[in-house]
Structure 1
Amino acid sequence: MTPRFTPTLRRLAAGATLAIAGLATLGLSGCASPTPADYASQSPKLDLKQYFNGKLLAHGIVTDRGGKVLQRFTVQLTGTWVGDTGTLDERFTYADGRKETRVWTLQRGADGRYIGTAADVLGEAQGQAAGNALNWRYTLLLPVDGRTWEVQFDDWMFLVDDQVMLNRAVMSKFGIRLGEVLLSFQRLPG
C-alpha cells in the first residue's frame, strides 16, 4: 500500500529534507581535515633539522581501527644533518623482541616543506610544517603474511616543547582506515 501525503505532510517532509541536507552539509564542512596552516600560530616552532639532531628515544603503540593495541615498541633514533639534508636512523624494538631498522633521508625545502625517502617508503614522503606541527603523507611498504602491502600514512607530529614531540599517524588502504600509530619522542642529553 502506498502512503498518501496531504499537502501539510508534503511541506513537512520537504522542510525536513531541506533541514537534513543542511545539517549534512554543515556536518561535512565541520569534518574537514586539518591542514598545517591551522597550527601556524602555535609555538614552539617545529624545525625538523633542529629537533631531529642528535639522539632521541621514542615509545609507541600500533592500534587497529577499533583502538585495540596490536603492538608496543621503542625506537632509538639518531639524527644528523649536512646543510639541509638530514639522515634519521631509527632502530625499532617491539614488545615481542622483533627488531627493525629504517633510515630516512630528509630534505628541507622552502616554506616549511620537507621530502623524505626510506627503503620501505614507496616514492617520497611529502611533508609540510607550520607552527608546532608537521604533516607527512607517504606510502609504506609493509610485509603482511608473506606479501607486501602498500599502506598510506597520514602522519602528524606536534612539538610540545624543545624536548618532547607527539606523533599520530593514521594508516589506510584503498581509503579504508586500518588503524593508528601513536608515538612520544624525547630528546636525549648529549
Structure 2
Amino acid sequence: MQRRLLLTASIAGAASLAGCAGPQISDYASEKPALDLRSYFNGTLDAYGVFTDRSGQVVKRFTVLMRCTWDGDNGVLDEDFVYSDGSTGKRIWRMKHLGNGRYSGTADDVVGEAQGETRGNAFRWGYTLALPVDGRVWNVTFDDWMYLMDERVMLNKAVMSKFGVRLGEVTLSFVKRG
C-alpha cells in the first residue's frame, strides 16, 4: 500500500512540474492575426489530421467536416470524422463564450466540461475525452493548442495523456471554406 501511495505521489508530482514547464496562453497575447474563435469557427471548415503514438509513429489519419454556428455567446461545432481505416465518428461541441477570451464546452464523449482561453492568435483548450479503445473506454486528458495562421488556416496540436503520462499527439489543420 505504501509503495502504491509513493508511486501515485511521484506521478502527480511529475505531472504538476511538467504543467509548470510548458507554454502559457499569455505567451501569445501579442501574436497576430488575433483569433476570434466565434468568427473563425463559423461556417463550414475542413480539417486534416493524424494521431501519432509516443514514438511519433502515425497510427491513424483522418479528415473532419465541420459545420459551425453561433447564436450570440453560444456555439455549435458539428464535426463528422472519417478515419483512414474507413470508420467514421461524430462529435458535436456545444460551446459558450464566457467573456475575456474564455470558453467552456461540452460534447457527448467529453467527461465534464472543457475549458479554454484565447490570447493573440492562440487558443488553449483542455478536456477529458471518453475514448473507446479495443472494446474499453479510457478517460484521457487533452491539452489542445490551436494557432491561427491567417483568416482561413488554423493549426492544432493536442497532447493526449492519462495519469500525467503522454500517450500520443493529434496534429490537425483546419481550413475555412470560402
> Does residue 1:183 correspond to 2:172, yes or no?
yes
One-letter amino acid of the counterpart of residue 79, structure 1: C
Deviations 1:60-108 (A, max 9, x none): 0000011000000000001001011000000000011100000000101
Unpaired segments ≥5 residues, structure 2: 1-16
RMSD: 1.3
| SS at structure 2 position matched to 1:44 | coil
Write the distance in 2 (CA, Å) between the matches of 1:54 and 1:168: 22
Q: Which residue of 2 aligns with 1:103?
A: 92
Q: Which residue of 1 aligns with 2:153?
A: 164
Q: Which residue of 2 aligns with 1:130?
A: 119
| SS at structure 2 position matched to 1:37 | helix
Q: Which residue of 2 aligns with 1:76?
A: 65
Write the distance in 2 (CA, Å) between the matches of 1:45 and 1:34: 18
Q: TM-score, normalised by structure 1?
A: 0.83
% of aligned pairs identical? 60
Q: 1:114 aligns with which of 78, 92, 103?
A: 103
| SS at structure 2 position matched to 1:49 | helix
Write the distance in 2 (CA, Å) between the matches of 1:81 and 1:162: 18
Write the distance in 2 (CA, Å) between the matches of 1:144 and 1:123: 20
Write the distance in 2 (CA, Å) between the matches of 1:37 and 1:123: 25
Unpaired segments ≥5 residues, structure 1: 1-27
Q: TM-score, normalised by structure 2?
A: 0.88
Q: 2:28 aligns with which of 39, 49, 71?
A: 39
One-letter amino acid of the counterpart of residue 66, structure 1: S
Q: Which residue of 1 aligns with 2:134?
A: 145
Write the distance in 2 (CA, Å) between the matches of 1:154 and 1:124: 14
Q: Which residue of 2 aligns with 1:13?
A: none
| SS at structure 2 position matched to 1:86 | strand
Task: Give the length in aligned residue pairs.
Answer: 161
Write the distance in 1 (CA, Å) between the matches of 2:77 and 2:141: 20
Write the distance in 1 (CA, Å) between the matches of 2:99 and 2:21: 26
Q: Which residue of 2 aligns with 1:12?
A: none
Which is greater in Rg? 1
